[in-house]
Amino acid sequence: MDGNSRWAKARDLPTSAGHEAGYRALREMLRLSCAWGIRVLTVFAFSSENWLRPKVEVDFLMMLFERVLRDNIGDFSRECIRVCVIGDSSKLPISLQKLAKEVEEMTRNNSRLELFVAVSYSGRRDIAQACQKISQNVKHGLLEPEEITESLIAQELETSSTEFPYPDLLIRTSGEARLSNFLLWQSAYSELFFTETYWPDFGEADYVEALSSFQKRQRRFGQHIT
């Protein structure tokens, strides 16, 4: 969800206005995803690199995340959306950590759509923490190093709780053509869609364009389609 700050700057608005507009775009994406039968939606809300932003902006974002979770609890239940917050939660304010756990617990059994919210998330850290868990198994004699497989690592990633942990389509807005430490392992075979549109302006037409582009692609997974 890239481009909130640049969207605001282009309109001579404060950065906070950009993030508020980004929130409205997210609500719309959630509504459309539910309506169109998307089963899993993962959003990159705040990366581990974003902690280096100005403290004022970071504090605003933390409060915004709390407001998003709190204001939408009713919608999550009504629309049967399961919420899962992934990332290094130890850096989040205690109130946000607590609220995230409550929302996850309340929506645990919902199954219409799974919403993964990546906050303080790093794809590299996700892989490293999976390796740490596996090293614990090796340490306790439950596993030999030679027995470590890709499946074992995948099972320990933060997205492993869903039936569909690997995105089919990864959309990055605002014209930046890179992954920036988001779902590294999980997006190995994802179709990438880059759009110049800033996130607050990303609406139904853009979403349709991205999905249409995906439908035209030939996914081969290393083989040939004859």
Partner 1 sequence: MAKDRASRSEGTSSVVSFGEMLIDFVLDVAGVLLVESGGFVKVPGGAPANIIVAITKLDGCSTFVNKDFIMDKHHESSASKFLEDVWCFLRKCFFSVLSFGPMPKHIAFIMDGNRRYTKSRNVKKDAGHRIGFTVLTSVLQYCYEMGVKYVTVYAFSIDNFKRQPDEVQSLMDLMKEKIDELLMEESVVNKYGVKINFWGNLSFLSEPARLAAEKAMASTARNTGPVFSVCVAYTSTNEIVHAIEESFVEKRDRMQERYCNGYTDESIWADNMDSVISVTDLEQHFYTADCPDPDIVIRTSGETRLSNFLLWQTTFSHLQNPVPLWPEFSFRHLIWAVLEYQRVYPYLEHKRSSSKKKH
- 32 C-beta neighbours (distance < 10 Å), count: 16
Angle at 160 between CA 178 and CA 224, to 5 degrees: 60
β-strand pairing of 169-172 with 191-194: parallel
φ, ψ at 77 (rounded to 5°): -70, -45
Taking CB under 8 A as the criterion, the residue among 55, 74, 139, 205 binding partner 1 is: 139
Known catalytic membership, residue 2 = yes
**How many residues lie near partner 1 (CB under 8 A)?**
46
Tell me how far, at minimum, the Cβ of 196 lies from partner 1, in Å.
12
Name the one range near partner 1 by CB under 8 A: 16-24, 71-79, 105-113, 147-155.
Answer: 147-155
Residue 190 sits in the site that holds partner 1 (CB under 8 A): yes
Q: How far is the CB of 33 from partner 1 (least distance, A)?
A: 21
Q: DSSP alpha helices (H): ranges in 36-169?
A: 55-71, 73-78, 94-106, 123-139, 150-156
Q: Please, where are the H alpha helices in the chain? A: 4-10, 15-35, 55-71, 73-78, 94-106, 123-139, 150-156, 204-216
Q: How far is CA 110 from CA 43, 45, 78, 127, 159, in A?
A: 18, 22, 10, 27, 16
Residues 107-136 touching partner 1, rule: CB under 8 A, are: 122-125, 127-128, 131-132, 134-136
Q: Is 217 a binder of partner 1 (CB under 8 A)?
A: yes
Shorter beta-carbon distance to partner 1: residue 109 or 226: 226
Q: Are 185 and 153 in contact (CB under 8 A)?
A: yes
Using the rule CB under 8 A, is 9 a contact of partner 1? no
Site string for partner 1, 30-59 (x = CB under 8 A): ------------------xx-xx-------
Give how far Cα 209 sits from Cα of 3, 26, 67, 216, Å.
18, 17, 30, 11
The correct pick among 28, 185, 203, 209 for binding partner 1 (CB under 8 A) is 185
Determine the interface stretch with partner 1 among 60-68, 72-80, 200-208, 213-221 (rule: CB under 8 A). Answer: 213-221
- Which residues are tagged catalytic? 2
Residues near partner 1 (CB under 8 A) are: 48-49, 51-52, 122-125, 127-128, 131-132, 134-136, 138-139, 145-146, 148-150, 153, 176-182, 184-185, 187-194, 217, 219, 221-224
